[in-house]
Amino acid sequence: MIVISNFEVTKGYEVWKKAFESNEAMRQKNNVKVIAYGHEKGNESNVYTVVEMNSIEDKKLKEPNMIESRENAGVNHASLKITSLSE
Protein backbone atom coordinates (compact mmCIF):
# COMPACT_ATOMS: atom_id res chain seq x y z
CA MET A 1 0.00 0.00 0.00
CA ILE A 2 1.29 3.46 -0.94
CA VAL A 3 0.51 6.22 1.57
CA ILE A 4 0.95 9.94 0.95
CA SER A 5 1.04 12.24 3.96
CA ASN A 6 0.90 16.03 3.82
CA PHE A 7 1.35 18.33 6.80
CA GLU A 8 2.65 21.67 7.98
CA VAL A 9 5.86 21.93 9.99
CA THR A 10 6.23 24.72 12.53
CA LYS A 11 9.92 24.39 13.41
CA GLY A 12 11.30 24.50 9.89
CA TYR A 13 11.90 21.89 7.24
CA GLU A 14 15.48 21.09 8.29
CA VAL A 15 14.38 20.30 11.89
CA TRP A 16 11.67 17.98 10.57
CA LYS A 17 14.02 16.37 8.00
CA LYS A 18 16.66 15.60 10.62
CA ALA A 19 14.05 13.96 12.89
CA PHE A 20 12.53 12.04 9.96
CA GLU A 21 15.87 10.69 8.78
CA SER A 22 16.86 9.67 12.31
CA ASN A 23 13.74 7.50 12.54
CA GLU A 24 14.85 4.99 9.88
CA ALA A 25 15.26 2.11 12.35
CA MET A 26 11.61 2.39 13.39
CA ARG A 27 10.50 2.35 9.77
CA GLN A 28 12.61 -0.73 9.02
CA LYS A 29 11.24 -2.49 12.12
CA ASN A 30 7.69 -1.81 10.87
CA ASN A 31 8.38 -2.63 7.20
CA VAL A 32 7.81 0.95 6.05
CA LYS A 33 9.76 1.88 2.90
CA VAL A 34 10.26 5.56 2.10
CA ILE A 35 9.64 6.29 -1.57
CA ALA A 36 9.97 10.07 -1.41
CA TYR A 37 9.75 13.07 0.88
CA GLY A 38 10.17 16.79 0.53
CA HIS A 39 8.43 20.13 0.67
CA GLU A 40 6.34 22.07 -1.76
CA LYS A 41 8.49 24.22 -4.06
CA GLY A 42 8.70 27.65 -2.51
CA ASN A 43 7.04 26.59 0.75
CA GLU A 44 9.28 24.67 3.15
CA SER A 45 6.48 24.51 5.72
CA ASN A 46 4.29 22.28 3.52
CA VAL A 47 5.79 18.77 3.68
CA TYR A 48 4.92 15.55 1.86
CA THR A 49 6.00 11.97 2.51
CA VAL A 50 5.33 8.97 0.29
CA VAL A 51 5.84 5.55 1.85
CA GLU A 52 5.03 1.94 1.10
CA MET A 53 3.71 -0.27 3.91
CA ASN A 54 1.62 -3.35 4.50
CA SER A 55 -1.31 -1.43 6.00
CA ILE A 56 -2.18 2.02 7.26
CA GLU A 57 -1.90 0.67 10.82
CA ASP A 58 1.84 0.27 10.20
CA LYS A 59 2.11 4.06 10.33
CA LYS A 60 1.58 3.84 14.14
CA LEU A 61 -0.14 7.21 14.17
CA LYS A 62 -1.47 6.95 17.70
CA GLU A 63 1.51 5.51 19.55
CA PRO A 64 2.59 8.03 22.23
CA ASN A 65 6.27 7.87 21.25
CA MET A 66 5.43 8.57 17.59
CA ILE A 67 3.15 11.48 18.52
CA GLU A 68 5.91 12.93 20.69
CA SER A 69 8.48 12.41 17.93
CA ARG A 70 6.31 14.23 15.38
CA GLU A 71 5.59 17.06 17.82
CA ASN A 72 9.32 17.45 18.54
CA ALA A 73 9.91 17.64 14.79
CA GLY A 74 7.37 20.46 14.50
CA VAL A 75 4.53 18.57 12.78
CA ASN A 76 1.23 20.43 13.10
CA HIS A 77 -1.13 17.48 13.73
CA ALA A 78 -4.20 19.57 12.88
CA SER A 79 -2.85 19.94 9.34
CA LEU A 80 -2.06 16.22 8.80
CA LYS A 81 -3.72 14.64 5.76
CA ILE A 82 -3.15 10.98 4.92
CA THR A 83 -4.14 9.42 1.61
CA SER A 84 -3.75 5.73 0.80
CA LEU A 85 -3.64 4.85 -2.88
CA SER A 86 -5.57 1.88 -4.25
CA GLU A 87 -3.29 1.31 -7.26
Q: Domains in the chain, start-ordered, CATH in brackets? A: 2-85 (3.30.70.100)
Could you tell me the pTM of the whole model?
0.87
Q: Residue 17 has what pLDDT?
A: 96
What is the model's pLDDT at position 67? 77
- Percent of the chain residues topping a pLDDT of 90: 57
Instruction: Answer for the pair 31, 58: CB distance below 8 angstroms, yes or no.
Output: yes
**Per-residue pLDDT tens digits for 48-64:** 999 998 877 655 566 77
